[in-house]
Amino acid sequence: MKKIIHNLLAKASYLFSSDTGKVFIGVTVWQVLMTFIGTLYDTTLSNIFQNPASPDQGHTLLSHTMYWDGGWYESILNGAYSDPSSAASVFYPVFPFCVWLIHTLSFGLIGDPGTGFIVNLLSLFFAVLALVKIADHFVDKKYRWWIPILFLTSPAAIFLHFFYTEAIFCALAFWSYLFALRRQWWQMATFLALTAATRLPGILFVGLCALEFFRSYNWRPRQILNRHFLWFLITPLGLTLYGLYLYIVRGDFLGMIHGYKLTDDWSYHVFHLNIFDTYYIGIYQLLDVFKSPIPFDEGQSVNFFIPILSLIILTGASIYSLLRIRSKQIGIPLGIFGIVSVVFFSLNSDFVSIHRYILPTLVVYIATAHLASRRKWLHYLFYGAVYAGILIQAYLYILYVNGYFAG
């Protein structure tokens, strides 16, 4: 009996000292901490601010996770996809499907907030585990944990806790890229298909993995066109199946696009190819705020300042990755991915929510960790980024649970 107990303890000790165990403990503590903070904010600060836009759904342990886009995903679970008048079709199906699946497996005993928490906990575990393994390709082993730390302390990381699709999107996208780095092409393509059916920016990761595929063959066209390249043909499968489903339930294969016309909620999004004009107007408006006697409020900070700052950081990280992460040209795909992301996120003629869109662009965390690890005095860049990220996280969290738009 003692031998059995000793073996079990030894296996448990090994498990929790491994990367898998450390990541699981870390993300569980993070999610529990976010739950505690969210519940504290939800039950105390909402009474202080008395914001008329604050949702009035009662306060439970996880009620703070259900606001804004969380309401749209909840409507999907209540059949909104099959309602031709609902704009819920713009929200992709992988996250609500996973929530539905866990709810069904629990025989309906776990409600939507609880199942969403489980999905996000498991998704975040796999996302961070992928980042740790990706880090081994870019930084020294003693700095590998810097990359997931930067990810979890980035301003928009709070959305990894809410009833949003961010956590599962990051898990699928990061593993797609990791499989590409490992030259496991069919696994990469399968995860890319799921990524594209989770959020529209999944197509950016298709591009990133394609660039990594080209790099693996030294950018030579004759070598690139081989049987492994055919795996990319399955990457549109998830999005195609979603379109077919929408066609069956509402007669609109492109419902994920046409849904934007069914509501005024996103009327400020207007496709605009001249992104330089968007930047000029946005920065001018931001600078005008500082000259105006009107106080700098949450609208300017969330819709202009934080997104523009995020875009500047993403641009800098992308250029750094292109020029300075030179080992076997591994930084080139990431750098191009980052620059294309800057353009892609700027095509809506505004900066709203861009800091949230940038959350999965792992080039930011890789480039920051790579630069900060090069010199001892540059370590302060890492500490500063973590400190600033936590402060902005807290600010966005307070806004979100009190009904203000936070991204």
188-230 per-position pLDDT tens digit? 999 999 999 999 999 999 999 999 999 999 998 888 888 899 9
Check whether 1 has a pLDDT greater than 90.
no
Q: Note the pLDDT tens digit of each residue in 274-319.
A: 888 888 877 777 777 667 666 667 888 898 899 999 999 999 999 9
The first and second tokens of residue 64, run together, are 């703070």
Asked whether residue 2 is assigned to any structural domain, the reply reads no
Q: Which of 38-42, 184-188, 250-254, 347-351 has the lowest mean pLDDT?
A: 38-42
The pTM of this model reads 0.93
pLDDT at 41: 80
Check whether 50 has a pLDDT greater than 60.
no
Q: Which residues of 322-344 are buried (b: 16+ CB within 10 A; e: fewer)?
A: beebeeeebbbbbbbbbbbbbeb
Asked whether residue 4 is assigned to any structural domain, the reply reads no
Residue 405's nearest CA partner among 289, 299, 296 is 299
Asked whether residue 12 is assigned to any structural domain, the reply reads no
pLDDT at 40: 84
Asked whether residue 16 is assigned to any structural domain, the reply reads no
How many other β-carbons are positioned within 10 Å of the β-carbon of residue 284? 10
Check whether 322 has a pLDDT greater than 90.
yes
Q: What is the mean pLDDT of the chain?
A: 90
pLDDT at 87: 94
The first and second tokens of residue 144, run together, are 């590998």
Asked whether residue 383 is assigned to any structural domain, the reply reads yes
Contact 351, 326 (CB under 8 A): no
Q: Could you list the residue range(s) of the whole structural domain that residue 345 is in? A: 21-52+59-401
Q: Which residues contact 215 (CB under 8 A, 6 or more apart)?
A: 328, 329, 330, 332, 333
**Of residues 103 and 296, more confidently modeled:** 103
Check whether 10 has a pLDDT greater than 80.
no
Residue 122's nearest CA partner among 99, 140, 91 is 99
Write down how long the chain is: 407
**Helix spans in 142-226 (H):** 146-152, 166-181, 185-196, 202-216, 221-224
Q: Which residues contact 58 (CB under 8 A, 6 or more apart)?
A: none
**Of residues 239 and 56, more confidently modeled:** 239
pLDDT class of 3 with cuts at 50, 70, 90? low
Check whether 11 has a pLDDT greater than 80.
no
Check whether 17 has a pLDDT greater than 90.
no
pLDDT at 15: 62
Residue 344's nearest CA partner among 151, 189, 203, 193 is 203
**Of residues 40 and 126, more confidently modeled:** 126
Residue 38's nearest CA partner among 129, 131, 157, 133 is 157
Asked whether residue 293 is assigned to any structural domain, the reply reads yes
For the chain, the domain total comes to: 1
Asked whether residue 13 is assigned to any structural domain, the reply reads no
Q: Which of 49-53, 72-76, 87-91, 98-102 has the lowest mean pLDDT?
A: 49-53
Check whether 245 has a pLDDT greater than 70.
yes
Q: Note the pLDDT tens digit of each residue in 115-174.
A: 999 999 999 999 999 999 999 999 999 999 999 999 999 999 999 999 999 999 999 999
Asked whether residue 320 is assigned to any structural domain, the reply reads yes
Q: Note the pLDDT tens digit of each residue in 339-386.
A: 999 999 999 888 989 999 999 999 999 999 999 999 999 999 999 999
When pLDDT is averaged across residues 10-15 and rounded to a whole number, the result is 58
